[in-house]
């Protein structure tokens, strides 16, 4: 079971140190923390597994605002998220660029959490499987790859896919690609256990609920074997 915390654009270096000093990872649960770039060094120093929130495909070059695989490796970062829906929505990320980022990271020795998921309009139009097939189909086949299913309509909205809907989507993704699949989309302490108990759900990518150490610890405990 893998529980990943995506802090998005929250937490300074000081706040990162404070959180990780207070956090105790439950046994038998793998945990990844994904802080902002400016907090990566402090996060790595905690001894926890740390992923960046994005990574570029080029080794270097005129890519203002981007960070290379080698830069992350030098810091001791172990992986990166790619293709998050907020990157797709606000910053022009596409299936192609997501695949290029994933390929570069995996080739460079980083783990990857690649995000996929349909919008509310696509779900209502019955296009969920077509969207997932397109998004998953471009991803590289690699043992370092993890997929996160994030229905876009559930991210930051307080709405969550029912356990049955999550299981259906996860089973479909696994039929396309034999990798662990995390659920993301308003995961909270009060719904984590039911979501994580589904047979196709291998963990969670947690957003807002990961910012509070007690909340995140409760979600991690929900993923621990009983």
Contact 79, 111 (CB under 8 A): yes
Which is more confident, 21 or 162?
21
Beta bridge partners of 12: none
| Catalytic positions | 84, 150
pLDDT band at 153 (very low <50, low <70, confident <90, very high): confident
Q: What is the pLDDT of residues 98-144, one digit of tens each?
A: 999 999 999 999 999 999 999 888 888 989 999 999 999 999 999 99
Report in angstroms the alpha-carbon separations of 23 from 131, 169, 197, 214, 217: 37, 31, 23, 8, 7
- Predicted confidence at residue 196, as pLDDT, reads 95
For 168-181, what is each residue's pLDDT tens digit? 999 999 999 999 99
Q: What is the CATH number of domain 2-222?
A: 3.20.20.70
Q: 163 or 139: whose pLDDT is higher?
A: 139
User: Sorting pLDDT into bands at 50, 70 and 90, what band is 157?
Assistant: low
Q: What is the mean pLDDT of the chain?
A: 94
Q: Give me the percent of the chain exceeding a pLDDT of 90.
A: 86
pTM of the model: 0.95
Where along the chain do its domains lie? 2-222
DSSP symbol at 39 = G
């Amino acid at each position: 079971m893998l529980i990943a915390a995506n802090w998005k654009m929250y937490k300074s270096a000081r706040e990162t140190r404070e959180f990780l000093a207070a956090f105790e990872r439950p046994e038998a649960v793998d945990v990844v923390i994904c802080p902002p770039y400016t907090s990566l060094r402090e996060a790595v120093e905690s001894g926890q597994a740390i992923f960046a929130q994005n990574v570029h495909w080029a080794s270097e070059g005129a890519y203002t605002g981007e960070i290379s695989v080698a830069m992350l490796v030098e810091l001791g970062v172990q992986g990166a998220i790619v293709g998050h829906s907020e990157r797709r929505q606000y910053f022009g990320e596409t299936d192609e660029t997501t695949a290029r980022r994933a390929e570069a990271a995996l080739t460079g020795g980083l783990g990857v959490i690649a995000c996929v998921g349909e919008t509310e309009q696509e779900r209502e139009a019955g296009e969920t499987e077509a969207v997932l097939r397109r998004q998953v189909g471009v991803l590289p086949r690699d043992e370092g790859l993890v997929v996160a299913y994030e229905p876009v309509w559930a991210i930051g909205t307080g709405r969550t896919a029912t356990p049955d809907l999550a299981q259906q989507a996860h089973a479909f993704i696994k039929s396309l690609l034999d990798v662990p699949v995390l659920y993301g989309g308003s995961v909270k302490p009060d719904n984590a256990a039911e979501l994580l108990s589904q047979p196709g759900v291998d963990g969670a990518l947690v957003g807002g609920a990961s910012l509070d150490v007690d909340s995140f610890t409760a979600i991690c405990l929900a993923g621990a074997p009983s």
